[in-house]
Structure 1
Amino acid sequence: MAKRGKKYQDSIKLIDRTKAYDLDEGVDLVLETAKAKFDETVELHVKLGVDSRHADQQVRGAMVLPHGTGKSLKVVVFAKGDKVAEAEAAGADYVGGEDLVAKIQTENWFDFDVAVATPDMMGVVGKIGRLLGPKGLMPNPKSGTVTFDVADAIKDIKAGKVEYRVDKANIIHSPVGKVSFGKEKLSENINALMGAIIKAKPSSSKGKYLKSVSISSTMGPGIKLNSAKFSTEA
């Protein structure tokens, strides 16, 4: 494992690894240990007591964070007819159909962060599913990216919508803002996202749902949070 730099080593000394911090303390520590010269992203990591191999224990969804993510996202929209003009008027970065699919296939073009598609375009978009899927870019009705209401979808994405889903290790990783947001905005974003994750608990999930919750900045160490403070479960 690569040796960590001096700033990281100094940051580690500020954290009690045996302790689960309350949210306010945890966010204070994230801000104190974010020592990079750029505005670091703060990420939330939530390990869940589910088995993501089972379809009925998948946890995924999307929500607009109260204060956004601090990142401006490029949106591509697959649409036709009057939906093309609607998407362009709503601020989509790229709009098209077969032409964009061909561009992705032939040029390996992925100059976008989120893909939105109208339902009548999914047959066309399906042709590049194996290219979009592994990159997490495939439009999906559950995350609100397959819809005829393209204007609202674009507005939400630009306002700071995040998608959350469990990975193979049953962990959700999601950005919750930038260090420059400060304590109050970061705490509100984290509380909002945790509320959505708790609400998304599958009925088939047994036992402890929130196994662990931690936050970290891009270059900083992980800080464990007291998961009981978020949950109403016993």
Structure 2
Amino acid sequence: MKRGKKYVEAAKSYDKSAQFETAEAIAQVKKNATAKFDETIEAHIRTGCDGRHAEQQIRGAVVLPHGTGKAVKVLVFAKGAKADEATAAGADFVGADELIPRIQNDGWLDFDVVVATPDMMGVVGRLGRVLGPKGLMPNPKAGTVTMDVTKAVNDIKAGKIEYRLDKTNIIHVLIGKASFTEEQLADNFQTLMDAINKAKPSSLKGQYIKSISLAPTMGPGVKVNVAKVAQ
């Protein structure tokens, strides 16, 4: 892949093979964000888990103390009083069965997170082939299948993010924007790592967190010293 001039210059400015303390890594990754837009900063966490085993599947959610810097559109599947509750909480879209053809046939996906009350999961299940591959399927572990729709919507709007293993046993998750202060990014990163450390599968043998890198949308990544942030 051919890299842009700014990417190449940023990559030359530090030792890409070195592992940095969190504060140093964040300072460097902010320097690497040289695009004309406010780049997203992501953490890429390589684990020693084997996601083929159900007991080693990691999935959960955490509210970042300084939010994500992104405006998040929330769709809630609910009926009656719960639908009213979702609307009052600030959900962008609220509905039930009538939304199925719009998503299934018209390809409507103008939302970032889907929440559903448990009684609506039979309906939402019909959208599995559409929502599943895009990571939008509601899940109890992520707090998106719940009767407390007010809390779910409030948490998501406040900066709740979901983390999960991909097929290569890596967790990819955003921790904020390049415009955030170093302290805000450090707080968000530590909050994320605390949650992932707690999610360590009891059946796992060997090293849990193998490597961590932080990277802006358009710039090179920076390795974080695993020993200081992983338990």
1:44-88 Cα shifts (integer Å, max 9, x gaps): 010001101110100110010010100010000000111111110
* Structure-2 separation of matches of 1:145 and 1:14: 42
State the shift of 1:231 in Å.
2.4
* Structure-2 separation of matches of 1:43 and 1:183: 14
Paired position in structure 2 for 1:47: 46
Q: Does residue 78 of structure 2 align to residue 79 of structure 1?
A: yes
Paired position in structure 2 for 1:171: 170
Unaligned runs of 5+ in 2: none
* Structure-2 separation of matches of 1:156 and 1:225: 28
* Structure-1 separation of matches of 2:35 and 2:15: 21
Paired position in structure 2 for 1:93: 92
Unaligned runs of 5+ in 1: none
* Structure-1 separation of matches of 2:230 and 2:164: 18
* Structure-1 separation of matches of 2:69 and 2:16: 29
* Structure-2 separation of matches of 1:149 and 1:22: 39
* Structure-2 separation of matches of 1:79 and 1:177: 30
State the shift of 1:215 in Å.
0.1
Paired position in structure 2 for 1:59: 58
State the shift of 1:17 in Å.
2.1
* Structure-1 separation of matches of 2:105 and 2:215: 38
Q: Does residue 216 of structure 2 align to residue 203 of structure 1?
A: no
1:89-118 Cα shifts (integer Å, max 9, x gaps): 000101000111121112011000000000
Note the 1:101-116 alignment, pairs <5 A: 101-116=100-115
The structure 1 segments of at least 4 consecutive aligned residues displaced by more than 4 Å after TM superposition are none
Q: Does residue 15 of structure 2 align to residue 16 of structure 1?
A: yes
* Structure-2 separation of matches of 1:121 and 1:189: 32
Paired position in structure 2 for 1:136: 135
State the one-letter code of the partner of 1:43: E
* Structure-2 separation of matches of 1:184 and 1:7: 25
Q: Secondary structure at the match of 2:20?
A: coil
- TM-score after normalising by structure 2: 0.99
State the one-letter code of the partner of 1:217: P
Paired position in structure 2 for 1:27: 26
State the shift of 1:14 in Å.
1.2
Q: Does residue 157 of structure 2 align to residue 147 of structure 1?
A: no
Q: Secondary structure at the match of 1:180?
A: coil
* Structure-2 separation of matches of 1:16 and 1:212: 16
Q: Does residue 69 of structure 2 align to residue 70 of structure 1?
A: yes
* Structure-2 separation of matches of 1:231 and 1:137: 28
1:117-169 Cα shifts (integer Å, max 9, x gaps): 00000111111111110010000101000011101000000000000001011
Q: Secondary structure at the match of 1:98?
A: coil
RMSD between aligned alpha carbons? 0.7
Paired position in structure 2 for 1:38: 37
State the shift of 1:210 in Å.
0.8
